[in-house]
Amino acid sequence: MKHILKLFSVCVLWSAALSAFAQTGPGGVGNATGSGGQPQNRLWLRADAGTSTTTNGQPVSGWNDQSGNGNNASQGTSGNRPQFIASEPLANNRPVLRFDGNDDWMQTTTHLTDNVGTLIVVGRKTALSSDYRTIFTSQDFLMLGQTPSLDQWGAYNDGGERLFTPGTSIGVNSSAAFRILGYRQNGLGANQLALFLDGVQSTTLHNGGSNGKSITTIGSNSSGTSGIQHFPGDIAEVIFYSAALNEAQRIIVENYLSSKYGVSIGTNDRYAYDGTHGNDVAGIGQASDGSQHLNASSSRLNISSPSSLANNRFALFGHNNGALTLSNTNAPASRRRLNRVWRYDETGGSIGTVTLAFDVSGISLPSGTSISGILVDADGDFSSGATELTGTLSGGIYTVTGASIPDGSYITLARTLSTSPTAPVSLTYTPNTLTLVYGTSGSSVPPDVDDGDSPITSYTLVSPPAGISINASTGVISVAGTTNAGTYTLSVTATNGVGSTTFNNVYTVVVQPFDVSSVVYNNTTTSVGAAVSFLPTPAVPAGSGVSFSATGLAPLTINAATGEITGSAFTSETVYQATVTISSSGPNSTGGPVTRTLTIAALGATGPGGVGASVTNRLWLRADAGTSTTTNGQPVSGWNDQSGNGNNASQGTSGSQPQFIASEPLANNRPVLRFDGNDWMQTATHITNNVGTLMIVARKTAGSGGYLTIFTSQDFLMLGGRRHWMYGVRIMMGPTGYLRRGHLLG
């Protein structure tokens, strides 16, 4: 009967907790109805929640509203659906929806007709366009991804174009950064519209106005019944309030988005712990204009009622996304603590004492235990030095009033120990997945364990596959590089002085096959007289099933298993090409066969700097050797190649011959050839190599309105440029470039 009563009370507490905190909006700002003095959050679309698919690259037909209003976005036509991107590196590896700019768009269930409100979008535009491209539109709010011919974000209403931070480029390309775009309108009329880009307000206030749209759209403008002006880019989050957020609220919401997506918001950044505790960042505080936000929730933790606010004073907090289970990891000796931990950051000074409220509903407590308090610690190791703040439990909420929280503190929940220990209660790994490529090893983090108030004596894996093991003392799971490719879902048994509990499917190991398409050979050089030995990259793991074969490699040989190429020293300068075939077989490799062509060169020692000889050094022109004259100021008709290949340069027309300068002070008093801008020379043999190294010592002595060329061959072209040195690669049938004006040493 006691167990039945306990379960019933948990259900009651869970129901009560759903509405216990009035701040359910982004950053702890707002709720679905606008009750409790909070702004109404009418729409909240997040790419990390509520999408019809979470499979990378798949089309999204539905995007559920997280505001609590059920104002879901959808697209019924399969060809018009955006694509789900599971992890976008430029969005802090968060999910985004990708709109193609051609016909992708979505429409909300309920049309937003508010003419007072705040719209905030996190997105980026990945392609230029010649016309307007629209991110969002409702009856009175329209946000543009670009105005015609301008690389800028903007808004449009009442027949007028409004630019964010006029004149500032935001970057439009495939690697463009994500931006936080804000649009706040206090109503219709003069100076009612303010625009914000990454937390900075545009210097211009605009007139508020109406667009007269009849549907609310995401990723496009609206023609009244369908999407137009489709947006090419990624959208991570869309937030709409039916109120003009005050400055404090706006700053807090932007901090939530900044932490989540890694977008810099400059001096408005009020939270320093994004990297470790950047989940569900929320806050309270007072902005420079005196506006306030006094009550906010991050996941299970609510902070309110600061006793000492002042202008520019904020307290923000976020968590590590730890499991909502209690364990003995870094817990005080007489306590167990929640694995989810918050970090608290005050800026602008102390906000004084606060009220802490913790939603404890649904958190499993062993028989004979109770919530003992909220732990506050300076370094995150709660086993020593932590302060326990005690309060009262009512309706599933544990409340502490008058709490003093030092800046930088770690915060979590604690429970008492049971008078009747049990077998282990819970075991979780965070993260709970490890992905490796065959041939590499890895390990898990230690598990978070509620030990049933009796210390864990051992951990074991249930039916472990070959290559996967667990440390009996720490619970760390290790994966050897020899573990066969596949997906392994692991169960762990934890044992204490009372008994054993098996926790099923608590950790997943994914071993991917080694992809032979990643294996390459770099073109290799060695010296005459040195033995040859080089490997491909990356190294191929043993047991992968990868094999190598080669043609044109003799006298060198290749190891069929490792791909290592070896051979005796070359006795003369040699350059040749070989083709290597890399094959895959069995479960541990994929992607084969592939071929790699590599150039192998054994260099002589008679070239420039003792590098190379006539086989590899195709051309070597020096102003201090081989010129047809050595008389200062005289024209040079011939310039003999010093490489040993006889590829001499010449100019038969006297008016096009460069001048010999016997001693140029700016060249360490060495000779140079001076080209006047019309002079040029041609080599005896056209150089057709598409692999090679070109080096020139020169200077340009006059500006020019066009490109001027120092050297050109079939596949190498070096330009003197207009004001800078440049190079180009161009297929040319003959040497048609020349140096118009300058000095050339060699």
pLDDT tens per residue, range 140-161: 777 766 555 555 666 766 556 5
By three-state DSSP, how is residue 398 classified?
strand
Q: Which CATH number fits domain 426-512: 2.60.40.10, 3.40.50.150, 1.10.287.3240, 1.50.10.10?
A: 2.60.40.10
- Record the tokens describing residue 540, joined without a space: 């191929």
User: What are the residues facing 638 on neighbouring strands?
Assistant: 650
Mean pLDDT within 324-333: 89
User: What are the residues facing 355 on neighbouring strands?
Assistant: 304
Tell me the whole-structure pTM to 2 decimals: 0.71
Q: How far apart are CA 379 and CA 441, in angstroms?
A: 31
Mean pLDDT within 478-502: 97
Question: What's the start-to-end Cα distance of the chain, in Å?
Answer: 97
Q: How far apart are CA 643 and CA 625, in angstroms?
A: 11
Q: How far apart are CA 540 and CA 558, in angstroms?
A: 14
Mean pLDDT within 647-669: 94
CB atoms inside a 10 Å sphere around CB 646: 10
pLDDT tens per residue, range 282-296: 999 999 999 999 999
Q: How far apart are CA 296 and CA 282, in angstroms?
A: 6
Residue 582: which of 530, 642, 521, 524 has the closest Cα?
A: 521
Highest mean pLDDT among 111-115, 154-158, 166-170, 293-297: 293-297
Q: How far apart are CA 521 and CA 368, in angstroms?
A: 65
- 57 Ramachandran zone, left/alpha/beta (phi>0; psi -120 to 50): left
Please state which of the ranges 86-100, 360-374, 407-421 shows the lowest mean pLDDT: 360-374
Instruction: Report which DSSP code applies to 329.
Output: T
The answer to whether residue 695 scores a pLDDT higher than 50 is yes
> Where does the pLDDT of residue 611 fall: very low under 50, low under 70, confident under 90, or very high at 90 and above?
confident
DSSP characters over 58-97: -B-SEE--SSSS---EE--SGGGPPEEEEEEGGGTTEEEE
- Record the tokens describing residue 40, joined without a space: 């109404």
pLDDT tens per residue, range 362-398: 888 888 889 999 999 999 999 999 999 999 999 999 9
401 φ, ψ (degrees, to nearest 5): -105, 155
Mean pLDDT within 475-483: 97
Please state which of the ranges 81-85, 304-308, 577-581 shows the lowest mean pLDDT: 577-581
> Where does the pLDDT of residue 342 fall: very low under 50, low under 70, confident under 90, or very high at 90 and above?
very high
Q: How far apart are CA 418 and CA 336, in angstroms?
A: 10
Task: Enumerate residues 6+ apart whose C-beta is below 8 A from 576.
Answer: 552, 599, 600
Mean pLDDT within 202-215: 66
- 434 Ramachandran zone, left/alpha/beta (phi>0; psi -120 to 50): beta
pLDDT at 605: 67
pLDDT at 71: 96
Instruction: Report which DSSP code applies to 45.
Output: E
Please state which of the ranges 100-114, 116-130, 245-259, 663-677 shows the lowest mean pLDDT: 116-130
Q: What share of the chain is helix, strand, coil (3-state, %, to 5)?
A: 10, 40, 50
> Where does the pLDDT of residue 404 fall: very low under 50, low under 70, confident under 90, or very high at 90 and above?
very high
Q: What is the dihedral of CA 94, 100, 104, 106, to 10 degrees?
A: 30
Query: Sign of torsion, CA 234 143 101 111?
Result: positive
DSSP characters over 566-577: EEPPPSS-EEEE
pLDDT at 609: 77
pLDDT at 152: 65
DSSP characters over 91-150: GTTEEEEEEESSS--EEESS----SSEEEEEEEEE-S--SS-EEEEE-SS-EEEEE-TT-
Q: How far apart are CA 308 and CA 289, in angstroms?
A: 16
Cis peptide before 447 (omega within 30 of 0): no
Please state which of the ranges 129-143, 256-270, 515-529, 554-568 shows the lowest mean pLDDT: 129-143
Highest mean pLDDT among 133-147, 581-595, 688-702: 581-595
pLDDT at 174: 67
Domain ranges in the chain are 40-244, 426-512, 516-610, 638-744
HEC string of 179-195 equals: EEEEEEECCCEEEEEEE
Mean pLDDT within 262-270: 94
Query: Residue for token digits 């030995």?
Result: 533
Mean pLDDT within 602-622: 79
pLDDT at 698: 86
CA distances (Å), origin 339, targets 220, 272, 652: 42, 21, 84
The answer to whether residue 727 scores a pLDDT higher than 60 is no
Mean pLDDT within 81-88: 96
One-letter amino acid at 727 equals Y
User: What are the residues facing 622 on neighbouring strands?
Assistant: 625
> Where does the pLDDT of residue 19 fall: very low under 50, low under 70, confident under 90, or very high at 90 and above?
very low
- Record the tokens describing residue 679, joined without a space: 């002079």
By three-state DSSP, how is residue 268 classified?
helix
Within the chain, what is the greatest distance between any pair of CA atoms?
114
Answer whether 40-244 and 516-610 agree in fold: no
One-letter amino acid at 675 equals F
> Would you identify the CATH topology of the domain 40-244?
Jelly Rolls (2.60.120)
- Record the tokens describing residue 713, joined without a space: 């061959």
The answer to whether residue 340 scores a pLDDT higher than 60 is yes
pLDDT at 165: 55
Residue of higher predicted confidence among 157 and 552: 552
Residue 274: which of 255, 297, 296 has the closest Cα?
A: 255
pLDDT at 550: 93
pLDDT tens per residue, range 346-355: 999 999 999 9
pLDDT at 162: 61
Q: How far apart are CA 509 and CA 84, in angstroms?
A: 24
- 669 Ramachandran zone, left/alpha/beta (phi>0; psi -120 to 50): left
Q: How far apart are CA 367 and CA 5, in angstroms?
A: 12
Please state which of the ranges 223-227, 281-285, 287-291, 338-342 shows the lowest mean pLDDT: 223-227
Task: Enumerate residues 6+ apart whose C-beta is below 8 A from 643.
Answer: 607, 614, 617, 618, 619, 620
The top-level CATH class assigned to 516-610 is: mainly beta
The answer to whether residue 255 scores a pLDDT higher than 60 is yes
Q: What is the mean pLDDT of the chain?
A: 86
> Where does the pLDDT of residue 613 fall: very low under 50, low under 70, confident under 90, or very high at 90 and above?
confident
pLDDT at 150: 56
pLDDT at 47: 97
- Record the tokens describing residue 670, joined without a space: 């060495």
pLDDT at 207: 61
Q: How far apart are CA 381 and CA 383, in angstroms?
A: 6
Mean pLDDT within 557-564: 94
The answer to whether residue 686 scores a pLDDT higher than 50 is yes
Q: How far apart are CA 300 and CA 396, in angstroms?
A: 11
Residue of higher predicted confidence among 278 and 207: 278
The answer to whether residue 563 scores a pLDDT higher than 50 is yes
Please state which of the ranges 67-76, 97-106, 203-212, 234-243 shows the lowest mean pLDDT: 203-212
Q: Using an 8 Å Cβ cutoff, are 322 and 430 in contact?
A: yes
